[in-house]
Homo-oligomer: A and B are copies of this chain.
Amino acid sequence: MQVLIVGTVAFDAIETPYGKTDKIIGGAATYIGLSASALLEKTKLVSVVGDDFPQETIDLMTAKGMDVEGLQIRKGEKTFFWSGKYHRDMNSRDTLDTQLNVLADFDPIVPESSKNADVLMLGNLMPSVQQRVLDQMNQRPKLVVLDTMNFWMDNFMDDLTEALKSVDVLTINDEEARQLSGEYSLVKAAHKILEMGPSYLIIKKGEHGAMLFDRDNIFFAPAFPLADVLDPTGAGDSFAGGFVSYLAKHGEISWPAMKRAVAHATVMASFCVEKFGIERLLEITPAEMEERKLALAELTRM
C-alpha cells in the first residue's frame, strides 16, 4: 500500500538532562518518514520548508525512499523552528521558542501522483491543514491516521472535532485523551473518543507504553525498557511512522494487524530516543529491529 505522509519538516534545538543540541533536523514528517523507511521502499511526503533548509537533508530523505515532490521549498523564507527543554522525567517539557515561519500560512498541495495513496498519515499540524490534505485526495484512502496534540485542543477544538469525523485511527497521549474526552479514566476516555469518529484509538503513554482501543477490545504494549533515554523528541512520530508502515507493508487493516503494528511502532520509538534527533533512526539494522521485536514480545509473555 502506498503511504502519504503529511507533517512538519523543521529545525529543532533540544535540551535534555543528557545534553543540548544546536539547530538540528526535526519535524513530525521527518521522523514519520524515516521510521517508515525501515519497512517501506517508497513513501510520499507533503510538507513545507524555507530555502534555509539543507539540500543534503532533502537528498537524504530521498535516498531513504521519501518522494519529496510534495515538499514546498519557499524562496526567501525560513523553516519552522522549535526549541524545547525536557524535564528529568522526560515525559514533560517546556517549549522555549517556536518560530512558525513557513508554517504560518502553509497551504498543502498534494501532487497528482499522491492523490491515490492507500494510507494517509496526517502528522501533528493545524487540524484545518490536515483536513485540506484529506479533501484533495481522489478518493478516501483505505486508512487515515491522525496525530494531534493539546495545543490544537486548546485553540482549534472545532476544527479538530470536524477532522476527527474523517479519521480511522487517532493517536494522542494520555493527558490529551483526558482533555479531549473530559474523562480521567482512560477506558472511559477511549469509549467517548471512539464516538467522535475514529474506529481505533492509540493512547501513547511514553515510558509507560501504548494502548490500542477499538469499540470491543484493548491491547497494551509496554515501552521497550531502555537503560538510557537521551532525547524523547520524535518518539511519537517514529511510533506513527512504524505503525502506518507496518500496516502498509502487510496490506491488512484489522484488529490483529493493528496490534502487531503497535508492537512494531513501539520498537521504532525505542530506537528514536536512544540518540538526539534523527540520528539513531538512520542507523537501525533489520537484525536489531527483529531482535528488539522478539524481546518486546518476551517482555509480556506470561
Task: List residues of A whose CB falls within 8 A of some B CB.
Answer: 17, 88-89, 184-188, 205, 208-209, 211, 218-222, 225-229, 259-260, 263, 297, 299-302
Please tell me if the beta carbons of A209 and B222 are within 8 angstroms of each other in the complex.
Answer: yes
**Copies, count:** 2
Please tell me if the beta carbons of B299 and A218 are within 8 angstroms of each other in the complex.
Answer: yes
- Of all chain B residues, which has the CB nearest A259? B302
Asked whether A186 and B297 contact (CB < 8 A) given A205-B208, A208-B208, A260-B302, the answer is no
Docked CA distance A32–B259 (Å): 35
Please tell me if the beta carbons of B225 and A222 are within 8 angstroms of each other in the complex.
Answer: no
Please tell me if the beta carbons of A302 and B263 are within 8 angstroms of each other in the complex.
Answer: yes
Please tell me if the beta carbons of B219 and A299 are within 8 angstroms of each other in the complex.
Answer: yes
Within the complex, what minimum Cβ distance (angstroms) separates A193 from chain B? 14
In this complex, the member of A209, A222, A259 whose beta carbon has the largest number of chain B beta carbons within 10 angstroms is A222
Q: Mind listing 9 A-B residue pairs with CB under 8 Å?
A: A187-B225, A187-B226, A218-B225, A218-B299, A220-B222, A220-B225, A221-B300, A221-B302, A222-B222
Residues of B within 8 A of A219 (CB): 299-301
- Of all chain B residues, which has the CB nearest A228? B185
- Which 5 residue pairs are nearest across A and B when measured between Cβ atoms? A300-B300, A208-B208, A220-B222, A187-B227, A220-B299
Residues of B within 8 A of A260 (CB): 302
Residues of B within 8 A of A187 (CB): 225-227
Please tell me if the beta carbons of A209 and B211 are within 8 angstroms of each other in the complex.
Answer: no
Docked CA distance A218–B263 (Å): 17
Residues of B within 8 A of A186 (CB): 225
- Of all chain B residues, which has the CB nearest A184? B88
Docked CA distance A63–B225 (Å): 43
